[in-house]
Amino acid sequence: MSRNGLFDLSGKTAAIIGGGSGIGKAVAIGAATLGASVVVLDANEPAAAATAAAIPGAGSAPVDIGDTASVGAAMETIVRERGRVDILVCTPSINVRKGILDYTNEEFDRVVAVNLKGTFNVLKATGRIMAAQRGGSIVFFSSIRSVVVEPGQSVYAMTKAGIAQLVRAGAAEFGAYNVRVNAVAPGVVETPLTAPIKANADWYAAYANKSALKRWARADEMVGPTLFLVSDAASYVTGTVLFADGGWTAIDGRFTPPGM
């Protein structure tokens, strides 16, 4: 057994989309720690380059997941330069917090283009490559909002539920080629996306108190669940949504009975 046992990623090429910041950056660093050869992809090219600079041997490139051609070109470049893509992790998403009646068509299209179309673009481009090489592991990011929701989260929640179904469809279609497709569903995580919430003390505390652990997650706490799914430790895990939400979706939490 290798130095890291079931979790060893030595000899594998890992493409991390969204690796310029937040969860993606933490996952890129974590994958390299376990031995993977890492390529950091992000719409923010300088951010991707900065993450790659902190990882020995890592490369970086820009990618717009909402653009089918951009995704295809990025993945083909990795194959040309590194021979194959064994691991793909895709973290980016956007959110417009508005009531359904206030949502504009432009806002709807923008959120869907990144979260849902972007995920489909990545699944299609990477699935084709991994099916041809007869192996690989893909991890997308869903959310607790795929199963529970609050006012102002309609379109975001819709896209995150859609990602869960794309993962299942990908698992069904690519399983015969030894390609696994899964998702991580975080709760609230301290990232640039959630910075406006953290800035509101009452909002921040309300989210913290909703989870069983009574706190937000750090970005690096998503590394373990993600790398588990891409590793040989999860060799028989596909079509799964792994909730890493501090117990958010497991508890009701609206009332604690007397004496508890």
Domain tally for the chain?
A: 1
Is residue 258 situated within a structural domain?
A: no
DSSP element (H, E) containing 45: helix 45-53
What is this structure's pTM?
0.94
For residue 125, is it within any domain?
yes
> What is the percent of the chain where pLDDT is above 70?
98
Arithmetic mean of pLDDT, 97-123 = 97
In a domain, 131, yes or no: yes
Query: Is 103 labeled as catalytic in the residue annotation?
Result: no
Asked, for residue 159, whether it belongs to a domain, the answer is yes
Rounded to whole angstroms, what are the CA distances from 200 to 1, 78, 99, 121, 228? 48, 41, 19, 35, 33
Q: CA-CA distance, 75 to 161, in Å (whole number)?
A: 25
Structure tokens at 220: 């690096």
Tokens standing for residue 194: 């959630």
Does residue 248 lie within any of the structural domains? no
Average pLDDT over residues 63-79: 97
Q: Is 250 within a domain?
A: no
Given the residues 156, 177, 204, 236, select the one marked as catalytic: 156
Question: How confident is the model at residue 1, as a pLDDT?
Answer: 40
Mean pLDDT, the chain, rounded, equals: 95
For residue range 214-260, what is the model confidence (pLDDT) as tens digits? Answer: 999 999 999 999 999 999 999 999 999 999 999 999 998 777 778 76
Q: Give me the domain span that covers residue 142.
A: 8-243
The residue whose two tokens read 């959110």 is 95
| CATH number, position 70 | 3.40.50.720
With respect to residue 249, please indicate whether it lies within any of the assigned structural domains: no
Q: Is the pLDDT of residue 175 over 70?
A: yes
Asked, for residue 72, whether it belongs to a domain, the answer is yes
